[in-house]
């Protein structure tokens, strides 16, 4: 029998139901994996062994009493930007280094109610601003497939932990690609649900019109279980949409024959990396064998996605981050002369360079006289992108494209070149701009052994189609089954 930390939630749940193992055993296995690999990978900001073991004991009792739910007893890592009552929630930042929220995020509450086991808070780029997890105040997370490389970001810790058995599943947030990119770079399956599908109550806000929480797992079966748990209406989040979500596990065995995937020519004409190209073309053959048809599409406005995103996201960030002023909570500078100096010193000390860059970009774009030239233009582009997607979905069930232009890059390679870093998200950002669901699924490896992801994008609330397509793909392929040698 392989070690418990290697198993998926679906496998563990059936062992638990059959009383062949216990949540305490599973949790101990995962905790020892965390201990062994943390010095090398650094997926976590904070690890809670005592909390995890006490939650595991409770889960075992629930199972014994016949009160188990599908994910009871399964260990999960939570991105460090979701409030965990009384435990540190730092958002990868010095300014929140000692912040202990007095309440749980809704997703954390759901995880507790399910009887899952919380392992700790996963490392991330500071305030989720980044594509590499290098801007974390707590130091970078490393890619389990090659420790010289980044895991992707901003939810790099959540992805790396699942990839190397330091968590069975995890959750992250995706504002411009922060779930799909690290999922692709770490060889796991990660989904950004539709804007409004999962509550953001208790998620530290980055860019509120784009942020969305979603799951990471080693396969689509686990993703579907997490979607069942997370996708539900929450009156505490005014953007949460009150609709009935289907049972996503029902889509795991549905045939895909007769479905149509759209191939956006603009995405593929930008691809220069041979490994990504050949993985995508092999993936296309797999779908074709399954009876899926392909049509070419044009999404002309996507070319402006990055430019518009880097107006909208920093604008929203600059106002969301105004609350970190050292008054009510978070870091406060020690020596200051008067209130204004206290604000300035606190923010100068508390925020890292990338966060400051975003605040300055956003404040500039929103300043009087510039609104029409920047924000309004970006908002118009956003409408065009949404229209382009809408039109595309008239001729296909989902869009088929890469997640990233190339596999994981080296630590330090782009951190001093913000434009290069921003361009990493060229294929993921448009999805957030339109509020659509998107998934990254392992679809191949580069010549030097790095995972490559495939992205599928569905119409609003089309998560079930993504589950259906990825499930069919994972039955035909074994990319998602390969593990890094550590």
- In the complex, the residues that contact ligand GLN under the rule CB under 6 A are 128-131, 154, 174-178, 206, 313, 425
| Contact assessment for residue 49 and residue 31, using Cβ atoms and an 8 Å cutoff | yes
R_g of the chain, CA atoms, integer Å: 21
How far apart are CB 343 and ligand GLN at their closest, in Å?
25
Question: Which is closer to ligand GLN, CB of 212 or CB of 468?
Answer: 212
How far apart are CB 467 and ligand GLN at their closest, in Å?
22
Question: Which is closer to ligand GLN, CB of 294 or CB of 364?
Answer: 364
Question: Which is closer to ligand GLN, CB of 177 or CB of 202?
Answer: 177
How far apart are CB 235 and ligand GLN at their closest, in Å?
25
DSSP 8-state assignment for residue 87: S
How far apart are CB 15 and ligand GLN at their closest, in Å?
34
Q: d(Cα 77, Cα 118) in Å, to the nearest integer?
A: 6
SS3 content of the chain, % helix, strand, coil (to 5): 45, 15, 40
Q: Which two tokens stand for residue 408?
A: 């994981």
If you write DSSP's letter for every residue of 143-206 in order, what string do you get? BTTBTTB---SSSHHHHHHHHTTS-SEEEEE-SSSTTHHHHHHHT-EEEEPPTTTB--TTBPPS
H or E element, residue 45 = strand 44-47
Helix (H, G, I), strand (E, B) or coil at 97: coil
How far apart are CB 1 and ligand GLN at their closest, in Å?
37
Query: For strand 75-79 and strand 117-122, is the pairing parallel, antiparallel, or unpaired?
Result: parallel
Q: d(Cα 486, Cα 483) in Å, to the nearest integer?
A: 9
Q: d(Cα 12, Cα 18) in Å, to the nearest integer?
A: 10
Catalytic site includes residue 328 = no
Q: d(Cα 9, Cα 26) in Å, to the nearest integer?
A: 10
Q: Phi/psi zone of residue 91: left (φ > 0), alpha (ψ -120 to 50 degrees), beta?
A: left
Question: Which is closer to ligand GLN, CB of 176 or CB of 193?
Answer: 176
Q: d(Cα 7, Cα 219) in Å, to the nearest integer?
A: 10
Catalytic site includes residue 14 = no
- Among 154, 224, 240, 392, the active-site one is 154
| Contact assessment for residue 73 and residue 60, using Cβ atoms and an 8 Å cutoff | yes
How far apart are CB 41 and ligand GLN at their closest, in Å?
20
Q: d(Cα 115, Cα 476) in Å, to the nearest integer?
A: 33
How far apart are CB 425 and ligand GLN at their closest, in Å?
5
User: Which residues is 122 bridged to in the sheet?
Assistant: 44, 79
How far apart are CB 105 and ligand GLN at their closest, in Å?
16
Question: Which is closer to ligand GLN, CB of 128 or CB of 225?
Answer: 128
Question: Which is closer to ligand GLN, CB of 13 or CB of 456?
Answer: 456
Helix (H, G, I), strand (E, B) or coil at 297: strand
Question: Which is closer to ligand GLN, CB of 177 or CB of 453?
Answer: 177
Catalytic site includes residue 298 = no
Catalytic residue numbers, as ranges: 79, 154, 178
């Amino acid at each position: 029998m392989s070690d418990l930390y290697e198993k998926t939630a679906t496998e563990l749940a059936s062992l638990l139901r059959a009383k062949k193992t216990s949540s305490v055993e599973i949790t101990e296995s995962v905790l020892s994996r965390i201990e062994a690999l943390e010095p090398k990978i650094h997926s976590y900001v904070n690890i809670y062994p005592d909390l995890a073991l006490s939650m595991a004991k409770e889960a075992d009792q629930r199972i014994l009493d016949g009160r188990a739910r599908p994910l009871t007893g399964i260990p999960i890592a939570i991105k460090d930007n979701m409030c965990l009552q009384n435990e540190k929630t730092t958002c990868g930042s010095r300014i929140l280094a000692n912040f202990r929220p007095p309440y749980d995020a809704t997703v954390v509450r759901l995880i507790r109610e399910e009887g899952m086991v919380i392992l700790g808070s996963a490392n991330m780029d500071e305030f989720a601003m980044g594509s590499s997890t290098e801007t974390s105040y707590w130091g970078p997370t490393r890619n389990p497939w090659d420790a010289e490389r980044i895991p992707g970001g901003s939810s790099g810790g959540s992805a790396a932990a699942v990839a190397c058995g330091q968590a069975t599943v995890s959750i992250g947030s995706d504002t411009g690609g922060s779930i799909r990119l690290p999922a692709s770079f770490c060889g796991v399956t990660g989904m950004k649900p539709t804007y409004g599908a999962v509550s953001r109550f208790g998620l530290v806000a980055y860019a509120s019109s784009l942020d969305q929480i979603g799951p990471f797992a080693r396969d689509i079966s686990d993703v579907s279980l997490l979607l069942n748990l997370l996708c539900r209406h929450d009156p505490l989040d005014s953007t949460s949409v009150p609709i009935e979500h289907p049972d996503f596990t029902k889509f795991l065995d549905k045939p895909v024959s007769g479905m149509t995937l759209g191939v956006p020519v603009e995405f593929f004409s930008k691809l220069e990396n041979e490994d990504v190209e050949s993985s995508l073309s092999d993936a296309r053959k797999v779908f074709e064998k399954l009876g899926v048809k392909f049509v070419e599409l044009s999404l002309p406005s996507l070319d402006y996605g990055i430019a518009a995103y880097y107006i909208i996201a920093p604008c929203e960030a600059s106002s969301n981050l105004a609350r970190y002023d050292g008054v009510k909570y978070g870091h406060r500078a020690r020596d200051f002369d008067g209130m204004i100096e206290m604000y300035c010193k606190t923010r100068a000390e508390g925020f890292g360079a990338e966060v400051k860059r975003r605040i300055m970009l956003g404040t500039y774009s929103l300043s009087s006289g510039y609104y029409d030239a920047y924000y309004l233009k970006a908002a118009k582009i956003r409408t065009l992108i949404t229209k382009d997607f809408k039109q595309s979905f008239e001729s296909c069930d989902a869009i088929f494209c890469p997640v990233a232009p190339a596999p994981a890059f080296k630590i330090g390679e782009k951190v001093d070149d913000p434009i290069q870093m921003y361009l990493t998200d060229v294929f993921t950002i448009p999805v957030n701009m339109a509020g659509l669901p998107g998934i990254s699924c392992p679809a191949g490896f580069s010549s030097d052994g790095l995972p490559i992801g495939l992205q599928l994008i569905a119409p609003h609330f089309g998560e079930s189609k993504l589950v259906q397509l990825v499930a069919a793909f994972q039955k035909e392929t074994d990319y998602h089954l390969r593990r890094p040698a550590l």
